[in-house]
Every structure is written in C-alpha cells, then in structure tokens.
Amino acid sequence: MNKRTFFKILFYGIVSLTFPFKILAVDKRIVNPNLTEEQKNIMFKEGTERAGTSVLNYEKRKGSYHCANCNNKLFDSIAKFNSGTGWPSFSQALPGAFKTKVDYSFGMKRTEYHCAKCGAHHGHVFDDGPGPDGKRYCNNGLCLIFVPK
Ligand SMILES: [Zn+2]
C-alpha cells in the first residue's frame, strides 16, 4: 500500500466513523443566524463560559429567560437565585423546557440539560438547590435572553 492509499483509507475511515454521530445529532439545530462563535461553542459543542462573565448574574428584574437560539421560554425570574458560582442559577425550570442527559466529561458524573425545542446545550443541573425541588440549574448566561415583564 502506498502512502496515498493509506491516507485515503484513513480519511474515509474517520468520515464513516463520525457520520453516524452527525445523524444522531439532528435534533440540534441553529435557528438564530446571529449567534456568535462563543454562543455556538457553548450551545452546540457543550462549552462553558468563564465564571462571573455574564451580565445576567446581576439581573434582578421580573421577567423570563429564553433560549438565545430558538426563543423557547425556559425560566421565570422567580426561580433565579444567587448561587455564588458565577453563573446565572435557577431553582426550577419551566415545565417541558429542557431535556437532560448524563454527562461523564472531565471524570465527573453530571446531568447536562438542553433546550427541548432546539437541542442547544444550556448547562448542568445539580441536586443542591434552595427550592422545594432541591434543584440548581447552572446556566451559561450566553445561552439566555432576558425578557423583562
Ligand atoms: Zn432552544
């Protein structure tokens, strides 16, 4: 086998291996053409914004929080609390707003949640929240749009 054939086989091998994952990921879709690269990285590559960088950490008005990609209504401001983590945090999501998946990245078992409508990743949910459900939704601020009442 010459070098060229080897790389050809390697290339098609990689393509055919990753292809099924692309098919499985069709529920994720970008509907907002104005998303920045950073937003796309968080929402579609499960990235995380740097702690303490979101202006929404300081947002205290009444209103609702929507998906920055598809505008799905996700949280009511009543559920927002200051967790001290540096990310906008909520004790409760609106019914049916999210779907969850267990995430094993970084050697930790965490529950990742994503928008039920467009599949965009938003953050992780933990069981140490202050509300009656005991949940803490740790959300990337860049994935949210605040709509004041
Ligand atoms: Zn969405």
Question: Would 126 be classed as within a structural domain?
Answer: yes
Residue 15 lies in a domain: yes
Q: What is the pLDDT of residue 23?
A: 46
How many whole angstroms from 119 Cα to the centroid of ligand 1?
6
Centre of ligand 1 from the C-alpha of residue 113, in Å: 11
Give 41: exposed, middle or buried? Use CB within 10 Å, 0-12, 13-18, 19+. middle
Whole-prediction pTM value?
A: 0.81
Give the catalytic positions in this structure.
138
**Predicted pLDDT at 26:** 46
| pLDDT averaged per 10 residues, the chain (length 149) | 75 61 64 97 96 98 98 98 98 98 92 97 97 96 98
CA of 57 to the centre of ligand 1 (A): 20
- Return the amino acid letter for 58: Y
The confidence score (pLDDT) of residue 27 equals 74
Q: Look at residue 42 and tell me if it is in a domain.
A: no
Q: How far lies 60's CA from each of 33, 47, 69, 78, 85, in Å?
A: 28, 25, 22, 10, 16
In-domain check, residue 70: yes
